[in-house]
Amino acid sequence: MNFVDELQNLDTSNPGGWPSWVKLASVIALMVVIGVASYFAFIESQMISLTKLEADEQATKTTYKIKQRKASQLPAYKAQLEEMKLILNSMLRQLPSKNEMSDLIVDVSQTALASGIENELFEPGTETLKEFYAEKPIALRMVGKYHQFGEFVSGVASLPRVVILTMHDISLKPLDNGRSGVLLLEGTAKTYRYLDEDEQAEMDAKLVDQAAAGK
């Protein structure tokens, strides 16, 4: 009887009577089934976890390299920051001081008059302290011709101290009074000065308090 006939004549109710080679093959097949089931039940989940851990490790290494590179550049960044602070302080010192501000406003007004402009309104407002400077608004109402306003701007630029005038809500339009070429400038200009040491210390303390309150 060949093995095909033996397989066909197996008594499934009596495995103990099977030929030895059939018993061995059955054991091997059972081990394969158990191995495959074990893989899908345990080993596959472990492989997925391992793949995730490897990805996390790679991400951590990349983050570390970026932070390490930034840390190595920190001294250079600090040096650049200090240099920028020196440049900023130098630029701010070109603005008028607190003691010079009142005289400077008078000089700006006189420059307008010297240019032939009529100052119908030249009223300094309340000063506001900013982080590095103080800002003072000036309500303006000036009457003059185009070239006179040009002379005024040129004259302000020629003052001993650097004067920055920024225009806010300023309108420049022809004056409707029959005078040809006459313009009306109306609105608010702002001029600036640097903070003295006491004011800067006060502002720094205020900023620290604001930062602490925001945490």
Q: Report the predicted TM-score, pTM, of the whole model to 2 decimal places.
A: 0.55
SS3 of 122, please? strand
Query: pLDDT digits over 109-160, tens only?
Result: 999 999 999 999 999 999 888 888 888 888 889 999 989 988 988 888 888 7
Q: Where are the domains of the chain?
A: 18-92, 98-200
The CA radius of gyration of the chain, in Å to the nearest whole number, is: 43
* CB neighbour burial string for 17-34, b if at least 16 within 10 angstroms, e if fewer: ebeeeeeeeeeeeeeeee
Query: pLDDT digits over 93-122, tens only?
Result: 778 888 888 888 888 899 999 999 999 999
Q: What is the CATH number of domain 98-200?
A: 3.30.70.60
Rounded distance between C-alpha atoms, residue 162 and residue 60, angstroms: 52
Q: Which ranges in the chain belong to alpha helices (H)? A: 3-8, 20-38, 44-92, 98-114, 146-157, 197-213
Decide if 177 contacts 120 (C-beta within 8 A): no
